[in-house]
Every structure is written in C-alpha cells, then in structure tokens.
Amino acid sequence: MGILELSAYEAAEQIAAGSLSGGELFAAYRDRAAADRDAGEQGLNCFTWVAEEAAEESGEGLLAGVPVAVKDLFCTEGVPSQSGSRILEGYLPPYTATAVRRLLQDGASLLAKTNQDEFAMGSSNENSAFGPVRNPWDRSRVPGGSSGGSAAAVAAGLAPWALGTDTGGSIRQPAALCGVVGLKPTYGTISRYGMIAFASSLDQAGPLTRDVRDAALMLRSMAGQDPCDATYLRFPEELVLPHAERLDGLRLGVPAELTGEGIEQGVLASFQAALGRAEELGAQLSEVKLPHAPHALAAYYVLAPAEASSNLARFDGVRYGMRAEAPADLLDMYTRTRHDGFGAEVKRRIMLGTYALSSGYYDAYYGRAQRVRTKISEDFRSAFAEVDFILTPTAPTVAFGLGEKTGDPLAMYLNDFCTVPMSLAGIPAISIPCGLSDGLPVGLQLAGPAFSENRLLDAAHALEGALGFDGGAARV
Amino acid sequence: MARELSAVLDHVATIAELDLEGVAATSHVVEVTGGLREDVPRPSLPRELALAQAPDASDEGFLVPSPQA
C-alpha cells in the first residue's frame, strides 16, 4: 500500500512505530497540493495557500507528522487567512485559531489552506474570490460548499484529512458530494476562537476525512475547554475512537419530511439501500415525525443572514484587509471598500439580514424564526425519545454542474434542506458515503442528540464497514 | 438582485403560516453554564501587532480619511 493510501490514523500509527517518516509523508502530500495549485484552471483549485515545508516544531504527540489541510477561514498565525474573500486580501493573522492550535499541539503539521465559499456562504464553492473548486469525481461539477476545497482535497488524495466548518451543512453537504466523511459536532464542542465568523449561533468546526475513525480522531484532538470562547460546552464524557461493527438493538428513525419530495430518485434509491444494510446489521427502523423540519430552511435563511450582517460589519477597511484606493472621505472609504471587497452572495445575505433585523420587520422575520428554531429543537427532542438516531440523505441531489444554480439563489439554498434542521437544533450529524448514483457519490446523514458523538460515530463506523464505499476513483 | 431577494423573501415568508403562539424564542441551543473565564487581568495583543495588518496606521493608532472631505 502506498503512503498516500493510508488514513490519518494509519499514518500516525506508522510514524509512531518508526516505519514511516513524517517528513516523507509531508513531502508527498505537499508535492500533490502544490501541483494542484500550480495547475490553475487545469487543477481542482482546492487550495488558497500551500506550505513550503513542514513547520520545524512539529514532532511529538498523537498526530505527530500527519499533514492537515485547513479551511481558509481559520486564522493561522502569519499564514494568509481570507475566508475566501477579497476584502481580507493580504491578511496575515497575529494568532492561530484554537481548533488548529490543538491539532498542531498534537503533532499535526499545516499542509495547506483550503478554498471555500466567501465567508462560508454557499453550497457549491462558486462564491470564492479564489475561483470555484472542481469536483474530483467529475471536473465539470461542483464539490459542494462551503467547505468545498477541504472535501475535494480529501477526496482527491491531496490531503489525508482536512478541517472545515458547518453552519447549515457546510461540512456535511460537500462531504456527500465528494464521497468523503464529514462530521458536524454538537454546537460548542470545539472552540470557535479564531474562526472568521459567519453566523455565531450556528458555526461549528469539524473534520472532513476518508473514514469515520479519522473523524473521531480529529474531533478528539480539537474538542476541549477554551477560555477564549464563552459558548464552549464541556463535553460530558471522554471522546473515544469507534469500533462497532453491528447495530444490534439500535432504533433508527426515518423522517418522512426529509426523505420524500425534493430528493432526487438516484439519491433516494441509494438511501433506501443503505437503510436495508442497517437492518441487516441489526438495527430497527421506524418512521419519526419532524413536523417543523420543512420550515427549517426558511428560518435558517433569516437567522444566518441576520447574524452575518452583524458579524461582517467589522470589515470596513480600517484594521485589516483591503481598503479602496484614494477614498474622498471616511464614508466613501467604507462604502467603496465593502462594494469592491464583498462578492454578490455576501452582499445578498447582508441585505437579507439587515432587512430581517430592521425595526418594522424584526418580529415578523427574526423573532418568528427564533421561535421556529425552538419548535425544531422540540421536534428532535420528541423524536429522540423514540429512536437513537435519525437517518436522511445528506443532500437532495448528487454533485451538480458548475454554473447550474448560480443564477437562482433559492435553488442553491435548497441544497441545505436536509442539513439545516440539525444545525438549528445544535445537534451532531455526520455524513458518510453510501453509494453512487450515475457515477457520483451519495451521502447518508446520521443525526443524534446533543453530545451523542461517541455513539453516533460508532453507528457510522458499523454502517461504513457494511456499505463498503470505494472512494479510490477520485484519488487518481 | 431585487428579483432574487424577492424570491428568497417569498420562501422565508412561509414561516408566517405557523402557529407560534406562546413559543419561546431560542437564544442558545444548548444550556451553557460557567462559560465565563476568571476575571483576571492578562496581557492583550501588543499594539504594534494589532496595527501591523492595517491598510494605514501611525505608531499610535489606525489612520482613516477625514470624515469631511
């Protein structure tokens, strides 16, 4: 087996045993990542920055010598961090995000920063100042978003694993479209310190990996208390690596609201087949009701833009990033910097957000959406009284064509239909590849109650083994 | 842009159909306790580092154009 075929866990194990050199592994991935960057339009455009060499101090720790790719929006000291936006052109953060710092402390080495939708707003990675990312399964298609560069890099074998963020599906949906594993942990499990904010009540860091064990390994390294994030939640138990191979006794719920209308036939067929495998592994399937889930998307597209409009007020050309040239006065500087620095989707969401928060409309939009959010959390609580986990397709379709949905924001937003409810409820959810439809990967989403990560990863591990998805085709 | 925003707002308006009488607004999805750190003074970012990324700065602060041209 070549070193590029190793999972992060296997690589760490071999490096610790002395049978693999961390430097050799880093160089192999660095060459592949740099080649993709240098290929421009001919490549996948996964990276915004690629390391010249491994940082010298990396060495000790559980992840010693394993390279990691990190989504652009994580601040990394002295390394470009633009959140995919022109407005942060040239920004070199003076500090490193906690999630990244923990990975590096455990010995991982920073390989590259990955391309993303601007400020994590998008489901196709077409809203990036660095240009779109291509899907390694079919270069004429999108990788999903917003963590599209992270998902495509892992799928294509340009990085052993990658760090992403998920606000309404930004880890799970690209993981599904690229045929890799993506985990959004319980809100608050990983510190948000140093993540360039989109919607603070929803943003959560998480792993994109080739298998479920790697997702658990990365989660375990990143979780932990941080005095710099007051929304951090103490995880109530020790995080462990998954081992389960059966699902005996587990009750799995399938919500009709997220598994019917709007889901493509090929995706549904693959999803149904996965449910069959779950039953063969000993799980009991039943229908559950999430009556408010169909309204999640509408509530999300009020709440997330509202929070974004406030978070993005800080980009004004004063403290960091770009400033419009030769401004006539202060107001002209603010106006033109934001006009030139933000892309169309970001402007759209700032306008939606400020509108939803304006005094005449606050109750009708923001106030109402906050109450819908409560109903959605209650739906999940009721459902989890009856079942252990909820299963849905991760995304309604397989990867779609570049440019296919850019003219219709609402059609683009519908990509998040199955992932947004869990985000609003703050609960953990994982996407694992469950098969192919027309030669393109389909994702299976498993969601559990808050802090159920250990059990959720165990179930995903058992299913992964039974489904036997082969992602090799994308790594050529 | 106006047409696109209208389509999104039309979709968002579907939440008006729900009966939300007496439902509390979510302020935080999971109960947080003891999220605050100890109130002890600690060093902050050195001034020169904080100013280093600014498009324009003096030794003491950020420079911006005059509010009145």
Q: List, for residues A299-325, the tens digit of each pLDDT value.
A: 999 999 999 999 999 999 999 999 999
pLDDT attached to residue A61: 87
Which tokens sit at A165?
């963020």
User: With the C-alpha atoms ordered A450, A445, A119, A410, is the resulting torsion angle positive or negative?
Assistant: negative
3 state DSSP class of A401: strand
Predicted TM-score (pTM) above 0.90: yes
Known catalytic residues of A are 71, 146, 170
User: With the C-alpha atoms ordered A150, A152, A153, A154, is the resulting torsion angle positive or negative?
Assistant: positive
Would you place residue A397 in the very low, low, confident or very high pLDDT band (cuts 50, 70, 90)?
very high
pLDDT attached to residue B69: 66
Instruction: Kindly state the average pLDDT of the residues A128-152.
Output: 98
Domain made up of A3-249+387-475: CATH architecture = Alpha-Beta Complex (3.90)
Helix (H) or strand (E) holding A15: helix A8-17
Nearest of B1, B6, B7, B13 to residue A345 by alpha carbon: B1
Mutate to test the interface with A, among B6, B9, B14, B15 (most CBs of A within 10 A): B15
Torsion of CA A459, A171, A448, A231, to 10 degrees: 130
Task: Measure the CA–CA gap between A184 and A299, rounded to whole angstroms.
Answer: 19
Contact B14 A298 (CB under 8 A): yes
- Chain A residue with CA closest to B69: the answer is A329
Decide if A257 contacts A417 (C-beta within 8 A).
Answer: no
Contact A320 B53 (CB under 8 A): yes
Question: Residue A353: is its pLDDT beyond 80?
Answer: yes
The minimum CA-CA distance between A364 and chain B, rounded to whole Å, is 7
3-state percent breakdown (helix, strand, coil) of chain A, nearest 5: 40, 15, 45
Question: Residue B26: is its pLDDT beyond 80?
Answer: yes
Residue type, B62: F
Nearest of A70, A80, A138 to residue A108 by alpha carbon: A70
DSSP string, A254-320: EEGGGSSTTS-HHHHHHHHHHHHHHHHTTPEEEEE--TTGGGHHHHHHHHHHHHHHHHGGG-SSSSS
Please tell me which of the candidates A230, A318, A373 has its beta carbon nearest to residue B26: A373
Question: Residue A425: is its pLDDT beyond 60?
Answer: yes
Task: Measure the CA–CA gap between A357 and A351, rounded to whole angstroms.
Answer: 10
Residue whose structure tokens are 């005059």 = B66
For A260-303, the pLDDT digits (tens) are 989 999 999 999 999 999 999 999 999 999 999 999 999 999 99
Pairing of strands A204-209, A181-184: antiparallel
- For chain A, what are the domain ranges? 3-249+387-475, 294-369
pLDDT attached to residue A202: 97
pLDDT attached to residue A1: 67
Task: Measure the CA–CA gap between A330 and B66, rounded to whole angstroms.
Answer: 6
Higher local confidence (pLDDT), A146 or B27: A146
Pairing of strands A251-255, A284-288: parallel
Higher local confidence (pLDDT), A367 or A60: A367
Question: Residue B35: is its pLDDT beyond 80?
Answer: no
Mean pLDDT across chain A, nearest whole number? 96
pLDDT attached to residue A22: 93
Contact B55 A317 (CB under 8 A): yes
For A109-126, the pLDDT digits (tens) are 999 999 999 999 999 999
Question: Residue A58: is its pLDDT beyond 70?
Answer: no
DSSP string, A352-370: HHHHHHSTTTTIIIIIHHH
Instruction: Kindly state the average pLDDT of the residues A439-451.
Output: 98
Would you place residue B28 in the very low, low, confident or very high pLDDT band (cuts 50, 70, 90)?
confident
Nearest of B2, B15, B12 to residue A302 by alpha carbon: B12
pLDDT attached to residue A57: 60
For A240-249, the pLDDT digits (tens) are 999 999 999 9
pLDDT attached to residue A82: 98
Contact A377 B8 (CB under 8 A): no
Instruction: Kindly state the average pLDDT of the residues B1-22.
Output: 90
Task: Measure the CA–CA gap between A139 and A158, rounded to whole angstroms.
Answer: 15
Higher local confidence (pLDDT), A104 or A1: A104
pLDDT attached to residue B34: 63
- Rg of chain B over Cα atoms, rounded to whole angstroms, equals 24
Please tell me which of the candidates B25, B29, B65 has its beta carbon nearest to residue A426: B29
pLDDT attached to residue A106: 96
pLDDT attached to residue A232: 84
A413 touches chain B (CB under 8 A): yes
Please tell me which of the candidates B24, B30, B38 has its beta carbon nearest to residue A188: B30
Mutate to test the interface with B, among A88, A189, A233 (most CBs of B within 10 A): A233
For A204-242, the pLDDT digits (tens) are 999 999 999 999 999 999 998 898 998 888 899 999 999
Contact B53 A94 (CB under 8 A): yes
